[in-house]
A and B are shown apart, each in its own frame.
Chain A
Amino acid sequence: MKDVDDKFLKNPDTEVPLREELRPRKVTTPDGQEIDIDPLRDYFCEAKPKVHPKAYSKIVEDFYNWARANSLWILGFGTGCGAIEMRPLMTPRFDAYRYGIQWRPTPRQANLLVISGYLSVKTLKRAIRAYEQMPQPKYVMGLGSCTINGGMYWDSYNTIKRLDDYLPVDMYVAGCMPRPEALLHGFMELKRVIKEGKGEGANLYAENFDQYKANQKAVIRDWDMPDYNW
Chain B
Amino acid sequence: MRHILYRLKDRYHLGTPVFQRDDLCFVTVKRFELRAILTELRDVEGFTHLTLLTAVDWIEEQQFQLTYMVNNRVANLTLALRVMLDREDATGDTIHDLWPTAATYQRELREMFGITFPGSPRVDEEFILEGWTDLPPYRRDFDTLAYSQQTYNDRPGRVTHDPKTHMQKTLYADYPKGAK
**Residues of A near any B CB (own CB < 8 A):** 1-3, 5-11, 13-14, 16, 121-122, 125, 148-150, 154-162, 165, 218-222
Chain B residue at smallest Cβ distance from A155 = B145
Chain A residues within an 8 Å CB radius of B130: 121-122, 125, 220-222
Chain B residue at smallest Cβ distance from A125 = B130
Q: Is B154 an interface residue (CB 8 A)?
A: yes
Task: Check B148 against A154 for contact (C-beta < 8 Å).
Answer: yes
Chain B residues within an 8 Å CB radius of A162: 152-155
Chain A residues within an 8 Å CB radius of B158: 1, 149-150, 154
* Cα separation A94 to B16 with both chains bound (whole Å): 58
Chain B residues within an 8 Å CB radius of A11: 133-135
Chain B residues within an 8 Å CB radius of A161: 148, 152-155
**9 interchain residue pairs of minimum CB distance:** A222-B131, A221-B131, A8-B143, A16-B131, A149-B155, A8-B146, A155-B145, A157-B144, A161-B152
Task: Check A156 against B144 for contact (C-beta < 8 Å).
Answer: yes
Main SS at interface, chain B: loop
* Cα separation A39 to B157 with both chains bound (whole Å): 44
Distance from A223 Cβ to chain B, minimum over Cβ atoms (Å) = 8
Question: Total A-B residue pairs with C-beta atoms closer than 8 Å?
Answer: 87
* Cα separation A13 to B153 with both chains bound (whole Å): 17
Distance from A132 Cβ to chain B, minimum over Cβ atoms (Å) = 18
Chain B residues within an 8 Å CB radius of A5: 143, 146
Say which residue of B147, B152, B154 sits within 8 Å of A8 (CB atoms).
B147
> In B65-111, which residues have CB < 8 Å from any A CB?
none
Distance from B133 Cβ to chain A, minimum over Cβ atoms (Å) = 5
Q: Is B151 an interface residue (CB 8 A)?
A: yes
* Cα separation A118 to B141 with both chains bound (whole Å): 25
Say which residue of A155, A156, A221 sits within 8 Å of B132 (CB atoms).
A221
Q: Is B142 an interface residue (CB 8 A)?
A: yes
A-B contact list, 16 entries, CB within 8 Å: A2-B149, A3-B143, A8-B143, A11-B134, A11-B135, A122-B130, A149-B157, A149-B158, A150-B148, A150-B155, A150-B158, A154-B148, A157-B137, A159-B148, A162-B154, A165-B153
Chain A residue at smallest Cβ distance from B156 = A149
Distance from B153 Cβ to chain A, minimum over Cβ atoms (Å) = 5
Chain B residues within an 8 Å CB radius of A155: 144-145, 148
* Cα separation A10 to B152 with both chains bound (whole Å): 12
Given the contacts A8-B146, A9-B150, A157-B147, A14 and B133 also touching, CB distance less than 8 Å: yes
* Cα separation A160 to B147 with both chains bound (whole Å): 12
Given the contacts A6-B146, A14-B133, A219 and B151 also touching, CB distance less than 8 Å: yes
Task: Check B137 against A158 for contact (C-beta < 8 Å).
Answer: yes
Q: Is B44 an interface residue (CB 8 A)?
A: no
Q: A2-B149, A155-B144, A220-B131 are in contact. List 14 more A-B contacts (CB 8 A).
A: A3-B145, A6-B146, A8-B141, A16-B133, A122-B130, A148-B155, A149-B157, A149-B158, A156-B148, A157-B142, A161-B152, A161-B155, A219-B152, A221-B131
Chain A residue at smallest Cβ distance from B132 = A221
Q: Is B128 an interface residue (CB 8 A)?
A: yes
Chain B residues within an 8 Å CB radius of A159: 148, 152
Given the contacts A1-B160, A149-B154, A157-B147, A8 and B142 also touching, CB distance less than 8 Å: yes
